[in-house]
């Protein structure tokens, strides 16, 4: 929605009501003013302005809204965030050997060419920041950027309103890219609380194949501190194309992370997402799949591991709008201490989506009597010739299993670790990048807060 009103056409007595209509949420307006301070030109500025107009008549979600009833953003509203650039010359991060020469790095949302490496890519693929594209390539991006369903969601619109650059991966028709593409978004804390808004656009044309690793981190080279990451990724999967997408979030202990992943799948396409959530004080991931053609295959694997007082919320929505679609979703949560995990998964199967096969399972492991999980797998089906199932489990480590391992000479802490690792490995072992699998398995093994240590 684009509201444009001429102030001269309204009596002075109504000036206050006009301001109220366009700026319903003072806090949100403050964020908007921060992220829109830097101007752009042409079609990108028009796109930003349209999104900004939408944000101005929106509000930050509250727990009174069904989609946010378990995720309280009141602690976020107490903070003032600023856009801040930093010196990133000394930053360190994990370089995946498989993607050593196919990497884009952004620091606080700003492209870092010195840390990136895109020198050894095959022909038929473009991996670049938005500013580095040619005029013809930018015109192609214009057809896709911010065009996915759900663009009016408030945090998505806020991201669009502040776009100055983006990570772009474009795979041409029938091109098979065997090298993984690594997109790294590093957050560095400045003198004040900072906000960054990473943006990704992935286009896989018909018959193409590509593997992506999308990482949000401040793991090394940055001190823990308060910051907000508001990230949006759009993935367009063409006819008979295949995209394997791994998303890893391990932000700092005091960070806020809100992420949106929007996928459009055309006929006969195959999309796989491995979403790993380990960090942030409060994190929210909205994962939305839109089927735009018949016979698509969608595989969603998720793993959330949190402890302390962390809150992690995963909301997924799969719209299977055409016949012969297949989706398989497994989301696991390991929750320790007083942490709180939320899972809400929706699968929509309208009447025309006959012969759909959809499965959804959420499995939760609570490691403390004070740990909490709220889970709601959900099917909405009006088609009458489908095979659909969903379910959820909540359990603790079994005393009998721990005792059995202890009887074989394994102490209690090691027994707990072994069981936790086995629970997590079902998801991690499906990640197609061996070095990342090893890093994640070692990370899980070293999470002492999940044991009695």
Q: What Å distances lie between residue 332 and 82, 116, 243, 427, CA to CA?
A: 34, 32, 22, 8
Range of the domain at 173: 63-133+163-450
**Helices 412-428 and 434-445, packing angle to 10 deg:** 150
Task: Give the whole-angstrom CA distance, residue 231 versus residue 83.
Answer: 14
In a domain, 140, yes or no: no
Task: Return the C-alpha torsion angle 271, 169, 222, 73, nearest 10.
Answer: -60
86-90, 194-198, 392-396, 429-433: range with lowest mean pLDDT: 86-90
Per-residue model confidence (pLDDT) at position 224: 72
In a domain, 233, yes or no: yes
Which backbone phi and psi does 380 adopt, to 5 degrees? Answer: -125, 105
Length of the chain, in residues:
453
In a domain, 19, yes or no: no
| pLDDT greater than 70 at residue 222 | no
The stretch 66-85 carries a mean pLDDT of 93
What confidence category does residue 126 fall into, taking pLDDT thresholds of 50, 70 and 90?
very high
From the list 325, 242, 341, the residue with the least C-alpha distance to 291 is: 325
**What does the mean pLDDT of the chain come to?**
91
What confidence category does residue 94 fall into, taking pLDDT thresholds of 50, 70 and 90?
confident
In a domain, 39, yes or no: no
The stretch 320-334 carries a mean pLDDT of 98
Q: Percentages helix, strand, coil for the chain, rounded to the nearest 5?
A: 25, 35, 40
302-306, 318-322, 449-453: range with lowest mean pLDDT: 449-453
For 227, the 3-state DSSP assignment is strand
| Percent with pLDDT over 70 in the chain | 92
Q: What Å distances lie between residue 166 and 104, 105, 132, 200, CA to CA?
A: 10, 11, 10, 6
Under 8 Å CB-to-CB from 174, ≥6 apart: which residues? 205, 206, 207, 208
Per-residue model confidence (pLDDT) at position 219: 60
What is the distance, to the nearest Å, from the Cα of residue 290 to the centroid of all Cα atoms in its chain? 16
pTM recorded for the entire structure: 0.92
Number of domains in the chain: 1
Neighbour count for residue 380 (Cβ, 10 Å): 12
158-213 pLDDT tens trace:
999 999 999 999 999 999 999 999 999 999 887 789 999 999 999 999 999 999 99
Under 8 Å CB-to-CB from 203, ≥6 apart: which residues? 140, 144, 169, 170, 171, 236, 238
User: Is beta strand 270-277 parallel, antiparallel or unpaired with respect to 297-306?
Assistant: parallel
Cβ proximity of 163 and 198 under 8 Å? no
In a domain, 156, yes or no: no
Containing 340, the helix (H) or strand (E) segment is strand 340-349
Under 8 Å CB-to-CB from 306, ≥6 apart: which residues? 277, 278, 312, 333, 334, 335, 336, 339, 340, 341
Under 8 Å CB-to-CB from 422, ≥6 apart: which residues? none
In a domain, 32, yes or no: no
Q: Where are the beta strands (DSSP E) in 167-281?
A: 167-171, 181-186, 194-196, 199-204, 209-217, 227-237, 242-250, 256-265, 270-277
What confidence category does residue 413 fall into, taking pLDDT thresholds of 50, 70 and 90?
confident
In a domain, 437, yes or no: yes
Under 8 Å CB-to-CB from 266, ≥6 apart: which residues? 206, 237, 238, 239, 241, 292, 293, 296
- For residue 57, the 8-state DSSP code is T
| pLDDT greater than 50 at residue 263 | yes
Under 8 Å CB-to-CB from 114, ≥6 apart: which residues? 88, 89
| pLDDT greater than 90 at residue 88 | no
Cβ proximity of 203 and 230 under 8 Å? no
In a domain, 149, yes or no: no
The stretch 423-438 carries a mean pLDDT of 97
104-118, 202-216, 299-313, 340-354: range with lowest mean pLDDT: 104-118
């Amino acid at each position: 929605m684009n509201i444009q009103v001429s102030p001269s056409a309204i009596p002075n007595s109504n000036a206050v009501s006009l301001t109220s209509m366009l700026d319903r949420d003072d806090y949100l307006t403050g964020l908007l003013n921060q992220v829109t301070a830097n101007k752009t030109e042409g079609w990108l500025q028009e796109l930003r302005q349209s999104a900004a107009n939408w944000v101005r008549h929106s509000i930050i979600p509250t727990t009174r809204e069904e989609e946010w009833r378990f995720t309280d953003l009141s602690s976020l509203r107490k903070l003032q965030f600023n856009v801040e650039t930093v010196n990133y010359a000394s930053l360190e991060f994990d370089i995946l050997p498989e993607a050593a020469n196919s990497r884009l790095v952004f620091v606080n949302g700003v492209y870092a060419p010195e840390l990136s490496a895109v020198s050894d890519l095959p022909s038929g693929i473009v991996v670049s920041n938005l500013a580095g594209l040619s005029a013809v390539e930018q015109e192609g991006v214009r057809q896709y950027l911010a065009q996915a369903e759900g663009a009016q969601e408030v945090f998505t619109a806020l991201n669009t309103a502040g776009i100055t650059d983006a990570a772009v991966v474009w795979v041409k028709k029938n091109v098979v890219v065997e090298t993984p593409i690594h997109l790294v978004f590093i957050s560095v804390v400045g003198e004040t609380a900072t906000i960054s808004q990473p943006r990704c656009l992935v286009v896989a044309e018909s018959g193409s194949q590509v593997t992506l690793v999308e990482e949000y981190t401040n793991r090394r080279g940055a001190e823990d501190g308060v910051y907000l990451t508001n990230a949006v990724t759009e993935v367009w999967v063409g006819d008979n194309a295949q995209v394997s997408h791994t998303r890893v979030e391990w932000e700092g202990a005091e960070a806020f992370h809100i992420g949106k992943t929007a996928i459009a799948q055309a006929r006969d396409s195959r999309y796989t997402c491995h979403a790993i959530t380990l960090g942030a004080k409060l994190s929210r991931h909205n994962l939305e799949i839109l089927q735009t053609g018949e016979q698509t295959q969608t595989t969603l694997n998720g793993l959330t591991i949190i402890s302390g007082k962390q809150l992690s919320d995963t909301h997924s929505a799969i719209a299977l709008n055409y016949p012969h679609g297949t989706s398989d979703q497994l989301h696991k949560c390991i929750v320790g201490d007083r942490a709180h995990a939320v899972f809400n998964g929706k699968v929509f199967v309208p009447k025309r989506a006959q012969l759909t096969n959809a499965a959804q399972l959420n499995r939760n492991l609570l490691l403390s009597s004070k740990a909490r999980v709220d889970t709601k797998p959900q099917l909405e089906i009006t088609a009458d010739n489908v095979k659909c199932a969903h379910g959820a489990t909540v359990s603790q480590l079994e005393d009998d299993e721990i005792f059995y391992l202890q009887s074989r000479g394994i102490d209690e802490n090691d027994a707990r670790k072994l069981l936790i690792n086995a629970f997590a490995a079902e998801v991690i072992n499906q990640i197609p990048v061996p070095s990342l699998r090893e890093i994640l398995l070692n990370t899980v093994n070293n999470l002492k807060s999940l044991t009695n240590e």
